[in-house]
């Protein structure tokens, strides 16, 4: 089919949030059009995400709103459904406008993965039309997609693949079998050690829990010479996700020794952030937190525990996740730009710095300065 990008401008439609008419394309072409809309103000979006089998927590309005409110990103989406119809498909992006790293269209910033919610056979053609129109009109540095399943797109643009490992744990087994599948020495014994040491498990989503989490989170990031995300990001996640977000903390007495944040979405529990006090790592605090989260997800009849993405060269972390019995797969981000150089820049979230000067500076700066840098720079690197 022949596709062209258009913009809904029917203000009488019950589905608000379309782009202004001055962004409309002059010529639609001869085939089915692709329309742009804003998911955060379109009444169809939440229902579409809820019913689509491949929609994840990263498609949710809570996640998009947190990206917008924290970093100023502009969520937009594309669909072949006109504004008077229910959504049948959609591909969601954020516009990242940065004087430092360039103007980019990313699906989605700070998100482990973001499937195009489009029939597999239609995805390449729709994406190719989006690329053609968006590069012609907006001069993006690059457009990036983060699908769980690879998508072959025919385009004259330069493609830079960025590989990661991805792990998910199938929760359909009974809880005893799940435990037996854990690595005996590296996981089972760590959990039992935490219980013998009398570590205390608590969970919540209060300012006190956030303070304790964020203190360890900053220390962990600074140890790895990577700036922490601004505290505002976690405040927004807590407020927008409500009871679907939990901060889980392990204590030795009243001393926090490990913490993690999980997000629940439909039939999946997602591990998103974790940190620990290295003085107490031998007590198995992080293992206890993973185990309690997995137990809770299984008891709630959830289908998957999402361990998230891992840098392809972080073999130690990949091995750690494999030892929980999780299934490993290849997750490949695809960046499309006018040239190879346009698709490269340093990445704060993974520590894969493309700018040698930035890496050198961070390794020599005081920890307090590294945290300040994170407050300023994260909006530029999503």
Superfamily of domain 167-329: Gcn5-related N-acetyltransferase (GNAT) (3.40.630.30)
What would the pLDDT profile of 138-159 be if each residue is shown by its tens digit?
Answer: 888 999 999 999 888 888 889 9
Tell me how crowded residue 157 is: count the other CB atoms within 10 A of its CB. 19
Peptide bond into 108 cis (omega under 30): yes
Average pLDDT, the chain: 86
Query: From CA 100, how far away is CA 173, in angstroms rounded?
Result: 48
Predicted local confidence at residue 304, as pLDDT: 98
Predicted local confidence at residue 132, as pLDDT: 82
What would the pLDDT profile of 110-120 be if each residue is shown by its tens digit?
Answer: 999 999 999 98
What would the pLDDT profile of 52-68 be if each residue is shown by its tens digit?
Answer: 999 999 999 999 999 99
Predicted local confidence at residue 125, as pLDDT: 87
Query: 1: pLDDT confidence band, cut at 50, 70 and 90?
Result: very low
Domain definitions of the chain by residue range:
3-163+331-343, 167-329
Predicted local confidence at residue 28, as pLDDT: 42
382 against 244, higher pLDDT = 244
Query: From CA 94, how far away is CA 97, in angstroms rounded?
Result: 9
Look at the block and give the residue holding tokens 């009243």: 254
pLDDT beyond 70 at 365? no
pLDDT beyond 50 at 22? no
Q: The pTM is what?
A: 0.89
Mean pLDDT of 339-364: 57
DSSP 3-state of 10: coil
Mean pLDDT of 201-213: 97
pLDDT beyond 50 at 5? no
* Same fold flag, 3-163+331-343 and 167-329: yes
pLDDT beyond 70 at 362? no
Element (H, E) at 94: strand 91-98
Mean pLDDT of 31-37: 81
301 sits in the region (left: phi over 0; alpha: psi -120 to 50; else beta) called left
Query: From CA 246, how far away is CA 205, in angstroms rounded?
Result: 6
Residues in the chain: 382
Predicted local confidence at residue 255, as pLDDT: 97
Predicted local confidence at residue 355, as pLDDT: 43
Tell me how crowded residue 37 is: count the other CB atoms within 10 A of its CB. 26
Predicted local confidence at residue 25, as pLDDT: 34
Query: 222: pLDDT confidence band, cut at 50, 70 and 90?
Result: confident
- Which is nearest to 275 in space by CA: 217, 229, 224? 217
pLDDT beyond 80 at 24? no
Look at the block and give the residue holding tokens 């007590």: 283
368 against 306, higher pLDDT = 306
Q: What is the CATH number of domain 3-163+331-343?
A: 3.40.630
Least confident piece of the model among 82-91, 118-127, 206-215, 227-236: 118-127
Confirm if 247 and 205 have CB atoms less than 8 A apart: yes
Helices (H), 72-172: 123-138
Predicted local confidence at residue 104, as pLDDT: 93
Query: From CA 106, how far away is CA 335, in angstroms rounded?
Result: 9
**What secondary structure letter does DSSP report for 104?**
E
Q: With the C-alpha atoms ordered 169, 175, 177, 183, is the resulting torsion angle positive or negative?
A: positive
Look at the block and give the residue holding tokens 């006190």: 208
pLDDT beyond 50 at 10? no
Query: From CA 36, how far away is CA 17, in angstroms rounded?
Result: 10
Number of H helices, E strands in the chain: 11, 13
Query: From CA 337, how far away is CA 353, in angstroms rounded?
Result: 19
Mean pLDDT of 247-263: 98
Query: 160: pLDDT confidence band, cut at 50, 70 and 90?
Result: very high
Predicted local confidence at residue 135, as pLDDT: 84
Residues 6+ apart with CB under 8 A from 351: 224, 225, 226, 311
């Amino acid at each position: 089919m022949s596709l062209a990008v258009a913009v809904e401008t029917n203000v009488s439609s019950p589905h608000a949030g379309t782009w202004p008419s001055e962004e409309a394309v002059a010529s639609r072409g001869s085939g089915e059009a692709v329309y742009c809309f804003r998911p955060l103000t379109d009444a169809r979006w939440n229902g579409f995400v809820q019913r689509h089998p491949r929609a994840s927590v990263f498609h949710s309005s809570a996640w998009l709103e947190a990206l917008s409110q924290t970093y100023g990103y502009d969520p937009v989406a594309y669909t072949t459904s006109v504004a008077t119809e229910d959504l049948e498909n959609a591909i969601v992006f954020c516009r990242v406008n940065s004087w430092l790293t360039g103007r980019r269209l990313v699906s989605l910033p700070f998100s482990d993965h973001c499937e195009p919610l489009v029939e597999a056979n239609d995805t390449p053609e729709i994406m190719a039309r989006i690329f053609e129109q968006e590069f012609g009109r907006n001069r993006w540095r690059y457009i990036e997609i983060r699908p769980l399943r690879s998508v072959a797109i025919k385009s004259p643009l330069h493609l830079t693949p960025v590989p990661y490992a991805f792990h998910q744990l199938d929760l359909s087994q009974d809880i005893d079998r799940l435990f037996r599948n854990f690595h005996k020495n590296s996981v089972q014994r760590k959990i039992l050690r935490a219980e013998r040491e009398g570590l205390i498990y608590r969970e919540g989503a209060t300012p006190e829990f956030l303070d304790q989490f964020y203190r360890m989170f900053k220390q962990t990031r600074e140890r790895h010479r990577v700036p922490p995300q601004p505290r505002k990001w976690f405040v927004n996640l807590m407020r927008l996700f409500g009871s679907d977000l939990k901060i889980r903390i392990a204590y030795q007495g009243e001393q926090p020794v490990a913490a993690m944040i999980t997000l629940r979405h439909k039939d999946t529990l997602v591990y998103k952030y974790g940190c620990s006090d290295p003085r107490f790592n031998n007590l198995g605090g992080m293992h206890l937190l993973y185990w309690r989260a997995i137990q809770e997800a299984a008891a709630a009849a959830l289908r998957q525990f999402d361990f998230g993405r891992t840098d392809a060269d972080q073999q130690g972390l990949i091995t750690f996740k494999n030892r929980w019995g999780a299934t490993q797969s290849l997750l490949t981000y695809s960046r499309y730009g006018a040239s190879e150089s346009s698709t490269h820049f340093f990445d704060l979230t993974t520590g894969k710095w493309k700018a040698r000067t930035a890496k050198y500076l961070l390794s020599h700066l005081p920890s307090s300065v590294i945290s300040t840098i994170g407050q300023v720079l994260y909006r530029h690197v999503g």
